[in-house]
Amino acid sequence: MLKFNIKTDKVVKLDNNKDVHVFNAEDDNLDQVTVESFGEEWSKFNYFDEKEIENIGNEYFDIVDFSKFDEQSTVLDVGCGTGRWSIYLSSKFSSVYAMDPSKAIYSAAKLTKDIPAIHLIKASAENIPFDDETFDLVISLGVLHHIPDTQKALNSIVKKVNKDGQCLIYLYYALDNRSFFYKMIFYTSGFFRFFISKSPSFLKKIICDLIAIFVYLPFIFLSKLVKVILGEKLSNKIPLSYYSNKSFNVIRNDSLDRFGTPLEQRFSKKQIEKMMHEAGLHDIKFSNNQPYWHVIGQK
Protein backbone atom coordinates (compact mmCIF):
# COMPACT_ATOMS: atom_id res chain seq x y z
CA MET A 1 0.00 0.00 0.00
CA LEU A 2 1.25 3.49 -0.87
CA LYS A 3 2.34 5.82 1.90
CA PHE A 4 0.13 8.75 2.87
CA ASN A 5 1.68 12.22 2.95
CA ILE A 6 -0.61 13.53 5.69
CA LYS A 7 -1.69 12.07 8.99
CA THR A 8 -4.68 9.77 9.04
CA ASP A 9 -7.45 11.04 11.33
CA LYS A 10 -8.59 7.51 12.03
CA VAL A 11 -8.87 4.04 10.54
CA VAL A 12 -12.31 2.47 10.54
CA LYS A 13 -12.04 -1.32 10.65
CA LEU A 14 -15.11 -2.99 9.24
CA ASP A 15 -16.48 -6.47 9.83
CA ASN A 16 -15.78 -7.44 6.21
CA ASN A 17 -12.03 -7.03 6.80
CA LYS A 18 -11.90 -3.76 4.89
CA ASP A 19 -10.19 -0.73 6.46
CA VAL A 20 -11.30 2.80 5.63
CA HIS A 21 -8.61 5.44 6.13
CA VAL A 22 -10.34 8.67 7.13
CA PHE A 23 -8.79 12.09 6.53
CA ASN A 24 -9.78 15.65 7.40
CA ALA A 25 -13.00 16.40 5.52
CA GLU A 26 -12.74 20.18 5.79
CA ASP A 27 -12.74 21.59 2.28
CA ASP A 28 -13.94 25.00 1.14
CA ASN A 29 -14.53 23.59 -2.34
CA LEU A 30 -17.23 21.16 -1.24
CA ASP A 31 -20.97 21.63 -1.11
CA GLN A 32 -21.77 19.71 2.08
CA VAL A 33 -25.45 19.29 1.20
CA THR A 34 -24.44 17.66 -2.08
CA VAL A 35 -21.90 15.43 -0.30
CA GLU A 36 -24.58 14.26 2.14
CA SER A 37 -27.00 13.73 -0.74
CA PHE A 38 -24.54 11.42 -2.47
CA GLY A 39 -23.88 9.60 0.76
CA GLU A 40 -27.59 8.85 0.96
CA GLU A 41 -27.80 7.94 -2.72
CA TRP A 42 -24.99 5.41 -2.63
CA SER A 43 -26.29 3.97 0.62
CA LYS A 44 -29.53 3.20 -1.22
CA PHE A 45 -27.91 1.99 -4.44
CA ASN A 46 -25.08 0.00 -2.91
CA TYR A 47 -25.06 -3.01 -5.20
CA PHE A 48 -24.21 -3.54 -8.86
CA ASP A 49 -23.61 -7.00 -10.31
CA GLU A 50 -20.42 -7.90 -12.18
CA LYS A 51 -22.05 -7.91 -15.62
CA GLU A 52 -23.57 -4.48 -15.03
CA ILE A 53 -20.22 -3.05 -13.92
CA GLU A 54 -18.41 -4.57 -16.89
CA ASN A 55 -20.94 -3.35 -19.47
CA ILE A 56 -21.11 0.24 -18.22
CA GLY A 57 -17.39 0.30 -17.49
CA ASN A 58 -16.69 -0.57 -21.12
CA GLU A 59 -18.58 2.57 -22.11
CA TYR A 60 -16.64 4.91 -19.82
CA PHE A 61 -13.22 3.36 -20.47
CA ASP A 62 -13.52 3.00 -24.25
CA ILE A 63 -10.84 5.67 -24.75
CA VAL A 64 -8.32 4.20 -22.30
CA ASP A 65 -5.42 2.29 -23.84
CA PHE A 66 -4.72 -0.23 -21.10
CA SER A 67 -1.65 -1.51 -22.95
CA LYS A 68 0.17 1.60 -21.67
CA PHE A 69 -0.03 0.25 -18.12
CA ASP A 70 1.61 -2.76 -16.52
CA GLU A 71 1.23 -4.92 -13.40
CA GLN A 72 2.90 -2.29 -11.23
CA SER A 73 0.65 0.57 -12.35
CA THR A 74 -1.61 2.24 -9.81
CA VAL A 75 -4.88 4.11 -10.17
CA LEU A 76 -6.79 6.64 -8.06
CA ASP A 77 -10.59 6.76 -8.26
CA VAL A 78 -11.71 10.22 -7.06
CA GLY A 79 -15.33 10.29 -5.91
CA CYS A 80 -15.65 6.52 -6.10
CA GLY A 81 -19.21 6.24 -4.77
CA THR A 82 -19.89 2.51 -4.34
CA GLY A 83 -16.56 1.67 -5.93
CA ARG A 84 -17.93 0.10 -9.11
CA TRP A 85 -15.25 1.70 -11.35
CA SER A 86 -12.58 0.60 -8.89
CA ILE A 87 -13.88 -2.94 -9.27
CA TYR A 88 -13.76 -2.61 -13.06
CA LEU A 89 -10.12 -1.49 -12.86
CA SER A 90 -8.99 -3.95 -10.19
CA SER A 91 -8.30 -6.67 -12.76
CA LYS A 92 -6.15 -4.28 -14.80
CA PHE A 93 -4.02 -2.63 -12.08
CA SER A 94 -1.98 -3.90 -9.16
CA SER A 95 -3.51 -1.36 -6.76
CA VAL A 96 -6.62 0.77 -6.90
CA TYR A 97 -7.22 3.58 -4.40
CA ALA A 98 -10.92 4.37 -4.08
CA MET A 99 -11.63 7.75 -2.49
CA ASP A 100 -14.84 9.53 -1.55
CA PRO A 101 -15.66 12.33 0.95
CA SER A 102 -19.10 10.96 1.83
CA LYS A 103 -20.37 7.94 3.75
CA ALA A 104 -20.61 6.25 0.34
CA ILE A 105 -17.11 4.98 1.05
CA TYR A 106 -18.66 2.48 3.47
CA SER A 107 -20.92 1.21 0.69
CA ALA A 108 -17.76 0.83 -1.40
CA ALA A 109 -16.26 -1.22 1.42
CA LYS A 110 -19.19 -3.61 1.19
CA LEU A 111 -19.10 -3.92 -2.59
CA THR A 112 -15.31 -4.39 -2.76
CA LYS A 113 -14.90 -6.62 0.30
CA ASP A 114 -13.53 -9.55 -1.71
CA ILE A 115 -10.95 -7.51 -3.65
CA PRO A 116 -7.81 -6.88 -1.55
CA ALA A 117 -6.23 -4.75 -4.30
CA ILE A 118 -8.77 -1.98 -3.63
CA HIS A 119 -7.83 0.41 -0.81
CA LEU A 120 -10.45 2.75 0.67
CA ILE A 121 -9.96 6.38 1.62
CA LYS A 122 -12.45 8.90 2.97
CA ALA A 123 -11.16 12.27 1.73
CA SER A 124 -12.01 15.08 -0.69
CA ALA A 125 -10.45 16.13 -3.99
CA GLU A 126 -8.72 19.04 -2.25
CA ASN A 127 -7.21 16.79 0.43
CA ILE A 128 -5.84 13.82 -1.50
CA PRO A 129 -3.40 12.20 0.98
CA PHE A 130 -0.67 11.28 -1.51
CA ASP A 131 2.33 13.04 -2.97
CA ASP A 132 2.03 14.70 -6.36
CA GLU A 133 2.86 12.53 -9.37
CA THR A 134 1.96 9.28 -7.61
CA PHE A 135 -0.56 7.55 -9.89
CA ASP A 136 -0.35 6.23 -13.44
CA LEU A 137 -4.06 6.83 -13.96
CA VAL A 138 -6.45 9.10 -12.08
CA ILE A 139 -10.16 8.89 -12.83
CA SER A 140 -13.14 10.95 -11.71
CA LEU A 141 -16.38 9.92 -13.36
CA GLY A 142 -19.52 11.96 -12.76
CA VAL A 143 -18.09 13.84 -9.79
CA LEU A 144 -16.35 17.13 -10.57
CA HIS A 145 -19.49 18.82 -11.94
CA HIS A 146 -20.95 18.51 -8.44
CA ILE A 147 -18.08 20.53 -6.92
CA PRO A 148 -18.47 24.34 -6.75
CA ASP A 149 -15.13 25.14 -8.43
CA THR A 150 -14.70 22.32 -10.93
CA GLN A 151 -11.49 23.73 -12.39
CA LYS A 152 -9.86 23.91 -8.96
CA ALA A 153 -10.83 20.31 -8.21
CA LEU A 154 -9.53 19.17 -11.59
CA ASN A 155 -6.22 20.94 -10.98
CA SER A 156 -5.94 19.12 -7.65
CA ILE A 157 -6.47 15.63 -9.03
CA VAL A 158 -4.20 16.16 -12.06
CA LYS A 159 -1.34 16.97 -9.68
CA LYS A 160 -1.49 13.37 -8.49
CA VAL A 161 -0.92 12.00 -12.01
CA ASN A 162 2.57 10.74 -12.82
CA LYS A 163 4.58 12.30 -15.61
CA ASP A 164 3.37 10.53 -18.76
CA GLY A 165 0.36 9.29 -16.76
CA GLN A 166 -3.27 9.89 -17.74
CA CYS A 167 -6.41 11.41 -16.29
CA LEU A 168 -9.90 10.28 -17.29
CA ILE A 169 -12.92 12.38 -16.32
CA TYR A 170 -16.62 12.49 -17.08
CA LEU A 171 -18.44 15.82 -16.82
CA TYR A 172 -22.10 16.47 -17.54
CA TYR A 173 -22.34 17.96 -21.00
CA ALA A 174 -24.02 21.24 -21.88
CA LEU A 175 -26.13 19.53 -24.58
CA ASP A 176 -23.82 21.16 -27.14
CA ASN A 177 -24.42 18.31 -29.59
CA ARG A 178 -28.21 18.22 -29.15
CA SER A 179 -31.18 19.79 -30.94
CA PHE A 180 -33.24 22.73 -29.71
CA PHE A 181 -36.16 20.38 -28.95
CA TYR A 182 -33.93 18.11 -26.86
CA LYS A 183 -32.58 21.08 -24.91
CA MET A 184 -36.08 22.40 -24.20
CA ILE A 185 -37.12 19.07 -22.68
CA PHE A 186 -33.99 19.00 -20.58
CA TYR A 187 -34.28 22.55 -19.25
CA THR A 188 -37.92 21.94 -18.38
CA SER A 189 -36.83 18.97 -16.27
CA GLY A 190 -34.28 21.25 -14.59
CA PHE A 191 -37.14 23.32 -13.19
CA PHE A 192 -38.49 20.27 -11.36
CA ARG A 193 -35.00 19.21 -10.26
CA PHE A 194 -34.59 22.48 -8.38
CA PHE A 195 -37.51 21.65 -6.08
CA ILE A 196 -37.06 17.88 -5.89
CA SER A 197 -33.42 18.21 -4.79
CA LYS A 198 -34.55 20.34 -1.84
CA SER A 199 -37.13 17.81 -0.64
CA PRO A 200 -36.69 15.65 2.47
CA SER A 201 -34.62 12.56 1.77
CA PHE A 202 -37.44 10.00 1.99
CA LEU A 203 -39.70 12.06 -0.29
CA LYS A 204 -36.92 12.76 -2.78
CA LYS A 205 -36.25 9.04 -3.17
CA ILE A 206 -39.93 8.27 -3.76
CA ILE A 207 -40.30 11.06 -6.34
CA CYS A 208 -37.15 9.98 -8.19
CA ASP A 209 -38.36 6.39 -8.33
CA LEU A 210 -41.65 7.64 -9.82
CA ILE A 211 -39.71 9.67 -12.37
CA ALA A 212 -37.77 6.53 -13.30
CA ILE A 213 -41.04 4.69 -13.91
CA PHE A 214 -43.20 7.37 -15.54
CA VAL A 215 -40.58 9.47 -17.36
CA TYR A 216 -37.47 7.40 -18.03
CA LEU A 217 -39.20 4.15 -19.01
CA PRO A 218 -41.63 5.73 -21.55
CA PHE A 219 -38.77 7.56 -23.29
CA ILE A 220 -36.72 4.36 -23.27
CA PHE A 221 -39.62 2.45 -24.80
CA LEU A 222 -40.00 5.17 -27.45
CA SER A 223 -36.31 5.01 -28.33
CA LYS A 224 -36.51 1.24 -28.73
CA LEU A 225 -39.56 1.59 -30.97
CA VAL A 226 -37.89 4.23 -33.13
CA LYS A 227 -34.80 2.00 -33.41
CA VAL A 228 -36.89 -0.88 -34.77
CA ILE A 229 -38.83 1.29 -37.23
CA LEU A 230 -36.39 4.03 -38.25
CA GLY A 231 -32.98 2.82 -37.16
CA GLU A 232 -30.45 3.39 -34.38
CA LYS A 233 -29.24 6.79 -35.60
CA LEU A 234 -32.66 8.38 -35.10
CA SER A 235 -33.38 6.48 -31.90
CA ASN A 236 -30.25 8.00 -30.33
CA LYS A 237 -31.83 11.43 -30.72
CA ILE A 238 -34.60 10.49 -28.28
CA PRO A 239 -33.99 11.79 -24.73
CA LEU A 240 -32.86 9.04 -22.34
CA SER A 241 -32.15 6.61 -25.18
CA TYR A 242 -28.82 5.93 -23.47
CA TYR A 243 -30.71 3.82 -20.92
CA SER A 244 -32.28 1.48 -23.48
CA ASN A 245 -29.85 -1.30 -22.55
CA LYS A 246 -29.52 -0.48 -18.84
CA SER A 247 -31.07 -2.28 -15.89
CA PHE A 248 -33.85 -0.71 -13.87
CA ASN A 249 -31.43 -0.46 -10.95
CA VAL A 250 -29.17 1.85 -13.00
CA ILE A 251 -32.17 3.84 -14.23
CA ARG A 252 -33.42 4.44 -10.67
CA ASN A 253 -29.92 5.32 -9.52
CA ASP A 254 -29.41 7.88 -12.30
CA SER A 255 -32.87 9.35 -11.76
CA LEU A 256 -31.94 10.06 -8.15
CA ASP A 257 -28.56 11.39 -9.28
CA ARG A 258 -30.15 13.71 -11.86
CA PHE A 259 -33.08 15.04 -9.84
CA GLY A 260 -31.94 14.60 -6.27
CA THR A 261 -28.54 16.32 -6.33
CA PRO A 262 -28.55 19.97 -5.17
CA LEU A 263 -25.50 21.15 -7.13
CA GLU A 264 -25.07 20.35 -10.81
CA GLN A 265 -22.98 22.07 -13.45
CA ARG A 266 -22.68 21.40 -17.18
CA PHE A 267 -19.85 22.03 -19.58
CA SER A 268 -19.41 22.14 -23.34
CA LYS A 269 -16.74 20.17 -25.15
CA LYS A 270 -14.73 23.35 -25.71
CA GLN A 271 -14.95 24.31 -22.04
CA ILE A 272 -13.79 20.88 -20.89
CA GLU A 273 -10.85 20.88 -23.30
CA LYS A 274 -9.78 24.31 -22.03
CA MET A 275 -10.09 23.18 -18.40
CA MET A 276 -7.96 20.12 -19.01
CA HIS A 277 -5.24 22.16 -20.71
CA GLU A 278 -5.26 24.61 -17.78
CA ALA A 279 -4.86 21.67 -15.39
CA GLY A 280 -1.69 20.60 -17.21
CA LEU A 281 -2.95 17.89 -19.55
CA HIS A 282 -2.33 17.50 -23.28
CA ASP A 283 -3.30 15.09 -26.06
CA ILE A 284 -6.93 15.51 -25.03
CA LYS A 285 -9.17 12.79 -26.45
CA PHE A 286 -12.96 12.83 -26.21
CA SER A 287 -15.11 9.76 -26.72
CA ASN A 288 -17.71 10.14 -29.44
CA ASN A 289 -19.95 7.74 -27.56
CA GLN A 290 -22.33 8.30 -24.68
CA PRO A 291 -22.18 9.25 -21.88
CA TYR A 292 -21.18 12.78 -22.88
CA TRP A 293 -18.58 13.99 -22.23
CA HIS A 294 -16.00 11.52 -21.02
CA VAL A 295 -12.47 12.47 -21.97
CA ILE A 296 -8.87 11.49 -21.27
CA GLY A 297 -5.73 13.58 -21.18
CA GLN A 298 -1.98 12.95 -20.89
CA LYS A 299 0.18 14.54 -18.17
172 falls in which pLDDT band (50, 70, 90)?
very high
pLDDT of residue 191: 87
pLDDT at 39 over 60: no
**Contact status, residue 34 vs residue 261, Cβ threshold 8 Å:** yes
Mean pLDDT of the chain: 90
Contacts 24+ apart (CB under 8 A), 91-100: 92/66, 93/69, 93/117, 93/136, 93/137, 95/1, 95/2, 95/119, 97/2, 97/121, 97/130, 97/135, 99/123, 99/128, 100/38
Question: Which run of H or E residues covers position 137?
Answer: strand 135-141
What is the pLDDT at residue 269?
A: 96
Residue from 58, 62, 43 nearest 100 by CA: 43
Confidence of residue 121 (pLDDT cuts 50, 70, 90): very high
What's the rounded Cα separation, in Å, for the pair 77 and 157?
Answer: 10
pLDDT at position 100 over 80: yes
CA dist., res. 144 & res. 190, Å (int): 19
d(CA 17, CA 246): 32
pLDDT in tens, 241-285: 999 999 998 999 899 888 988 888 999 999 999 999 999 999 999
The pLDDT value recorded for residue 291 is 93
Residue 277 to residues 147, 169, 282: CA-CA distances in angstroms?
Answer: 19, 13, 6
Q: 206-253: per-residue pLDDT in tens?
A: 999 999 999 999 999 999 999 999 998 899 889 999 999 999 989 998
- Is the pLDDT assigned to residue 108 strictly greater than 80? yes
Give the mean model confidence (pLDDT) for residues 54-63. Answer: 95
Q: What is the pLDDT of residue 258?
A: 87
- Report the C-alpha gap between 97 and 74 in whole angstroms: 8
Dist CA 33 CA 234 (whole Å): 39
pLDDT band at 71 (very low <50, low <70, confident <90, very high): confident
Domain boundaries, the chain: 10-173+267-298, 180-260
Nearest to 196 by CA among 256, 266, 264: 256
Question: Class for domain 10-173+267-298, per CATH?
Answer: alpha beta
Which of 256, 183, 174, 255 minimizes the C-alpha distance to 216?
Answer: 255
